[in-house]
């Protein structure tokens, strides 16, 4: 909801690179952490102009050099924009993968990413991230997963464990 106004005032990166913090803040103040994001957006635009000749880089290693861009964001950009087999791990992907048993004892998002890309076919990786997010958002929700509505019951380690402990099945 905030990007139309942002893109309308700064239609390209060279303009955004010269933006004033207070102006960007005013446009994006309704989103979370507007202060940090305003600073990062301007610094990111500056770095893209100076280090990458004005073009957004399209590798994870380059993207994570940009202010405000972490590994998850870099994986999202390269997989969604360029269909690269990079797995972005957010809170849903982390939780759902562990519950189902797609990952074993992953301690952080990076370990989850490494375990998932080992087994998910490369051509499915960009979509797999969205499948897990949607499943986590609407079915395998954080507090009380809706197992009775879930088509993954036969394949899910969590479900098998609950059925064994609660019903002795
Ligand atoms: S069976 Fe339950 S725990 Fe397993 S994936 Fe489905 S909703 Fe999640």
Q: Which protein residues touch ligand 1 with a CB less than 6 Å away? A: 99-100, 139-140, 145-147, 150, 152-153, 156, 158-159
Cα–Cα dist 58/60, whole Å: 7
Q: Looking at residue 168, what is its pLDDT?
A: 65
Q: How far is CA 108 from CA 7, 10, 65, 128, in A?
A: 34, 36, 21, 18
| CA quadruple 6, 7, 11, 13: dihedral sign | positive
pTM of the model: 0.87
Nearest Cα residue to 58 out of 88, 85, 87, 81:
81
pLDDT tens sequence across 37-57: 999 999 999 999 999 999 999
Confidence of residue 159 (pLDDT cuts 50, 70, 90): very high
> What's the CA-to-centroid distance between 135 and ligand 1, angstroms?
9
Catalytically active residues are 72, 90
Q: How many residues does the chain have?
A: 169
| Rounded Cα distance, 163 and 145, in Å | 14
- Condensed to tens digits (0 to 9), the pLDDT of residues 62-85 reads 999 999 999 999 999 999 999 999
């Amino acid at each position: 909801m905030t990007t139309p106004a942002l893109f309308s005032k700064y239609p390209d990166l060279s303009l955004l690179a010269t933006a004033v913090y207070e102006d960007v803040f005013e446009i994006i103040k309704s989103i979370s952490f507007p202060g940090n994001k305003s600073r990062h957006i301007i610094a990111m635009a500056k770095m893209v102009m100076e280090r990458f000749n004005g073009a957004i880089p399209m590798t994870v290693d380059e993207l994570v050099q940009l202010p405000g861009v972490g590994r998850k964001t870099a994986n999202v950009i390269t997989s969604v924009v360029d269909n690269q087999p990079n797995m972005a791990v957010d809170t849903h992907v982390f939780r759902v993968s562990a519950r189902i048993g797609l990952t074993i004892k992953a301690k952080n998002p990076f370990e989850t990413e490494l375990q998932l890309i080992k087994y998910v076919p490369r051509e499915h990786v960009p979509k797999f991230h969205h499948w897990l997010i949607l499943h986590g958002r609407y079915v395998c929700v954080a507090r009380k997963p809706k197992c009775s509505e879930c088509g993954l019951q036969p394949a899910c380690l969590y479900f098998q464990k609950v059925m064994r402990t609660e019903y002795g099945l």
